[in-house]
Chain A
């Protein structure tokens, strides 16, 4: 069985496609985040219990959501890379890791800043907070393992194995608040039932989640191009592309 879209995933095609996507993703990021920030910080009313402190949700929830989604993307890419050996999947996984780690870090720090005034503590070793911290260490381990192995093919395989083993933490982070007694409250959005948040607070939150997602998309496209050039610098299409660029510069 050949992997579908294998043609599209050729390095040259993906390099060009990523280049076309950057401005669109960037614009979407800007639009969604502008609405999200203004809507979240000014238009949305303050919460009946937490007052204005609840506005931390507009940073915390999108960052936490993407910390899990990006890891899931890395997992999918790792499976594709291990089975079909699609180089593009390996580069997407490689280039996503640092963004995911940063989002995880932002989720943890914004959570601490939110927890101190509301709960009364910066940190507690409950199941949600601990499993999210483990996720941060998984990202660190993933990046560390990759950079410890010099040869890209072996590094990719080793990192893919780590990503697949670590995937088990993702459902644990998500369901920790249901499975165990935690200080962290249950899910507001990511559940089948109606969101437990008033609509005028919800729309800016969804916009922020979208904005964070497209920001990841923008960064990924930029980083993907770098990754492709790093791996493919000896190949014909890079030389042709480079000659073209230098000609147009002259």
Chain B
């Protein structure tokens, strides 16, 4: 390999590694901000004031959904280790169901209650016709 070509190989290697290192440093610096939501377990230790707007995410615990008057609902979000109650007023996305993933944004009201102003449904990566599920259950 001639020297000019060798120099160009080095250019490519240096460019790639510099880009990689810069990105890793940025990701490392932002590691807490890159997550879209807190899980109920992270909420236990995180230092979040009641005025701070945050998102929480997890599964809607089965049997926890209670409907009040005027579209008020309350349910429990769990990550299977810790739980938090969520209160919300408004229209829910179609996929919102007990046992399904959910991401809620709003504010904490004490340690145990989260008042949401937006509810988004998080679905999983599985696609299948309904009948397979019927056979399974």
Contact = CB atoms under 8 A, between A and B. Distances in A.
A163 to B, nearest CB: 10
Nearest to A202: B127
Contacts of B93: 117-120
Nearest to A188: B125
B81 interface: no
B120 A47 contact: no
A168 B19 contact: yes
B125 A181 contact: no
B42 to A, nearest CB: 9
A117 B34 CA distance: 25
Interface stretch (B9-17, B45-53, B59-67, B107-115): B9-17
Interface string A79-102: 100111000000000000000000
A187 B127 CA distance: 11
A196 B124 CA distance: 10
Interface string A187-200: 11000000011101
Interface stretch (A4-12, A121-129, A217-225, A242-250): A121-129
B126 interface: yes
Interface residues of A, number: 43
B123 A50 contact: yes
A47 B122 contact: no
B133 A48 contact: yes
Given A164-B12, A182-B36, A187 B119 contact: no
A96 B99 CA distance: 44
B127 A197 contact: yes
Contacts of A166: 19
Contacts of B118: 120-121
Contacts of A164: 12, 15-16, 19
B19 A180 contact: no
Contacts of B9: 83
A186 interface: yes
B97 to A, nearest CB: 8
Contacts of B94: 117-118
Contacts of A46: 129-130
A117 B91 CA distance: 12
Q: Which of B19, B128, B133 has the most CB of A within 10 A?
A: B128
Contacts of A230: none
B121 interface: yes
A47 B125 CA distance: 12
9 contacts: A45-B129, A48-B128, A48-B132, A54-B127, A127-B35, A168-B23, A183-B120, A186-B124, A197-B127
Interface of B: 1, 5, 8-9, 11-12, 15-16, 18-20, 23, 27, 34-37, 39, 57, 92-96, 103, 118-133
Given A47-B130, A167-B19, 14 more contacts: A45-B130, A48-B129, A49-B123, A57-B127, A82-B11, A118-B121, A124-B36, A164-B15, A165-B15, A181-B39, A197-B126, A197-B128, A198-B127, A200-B129
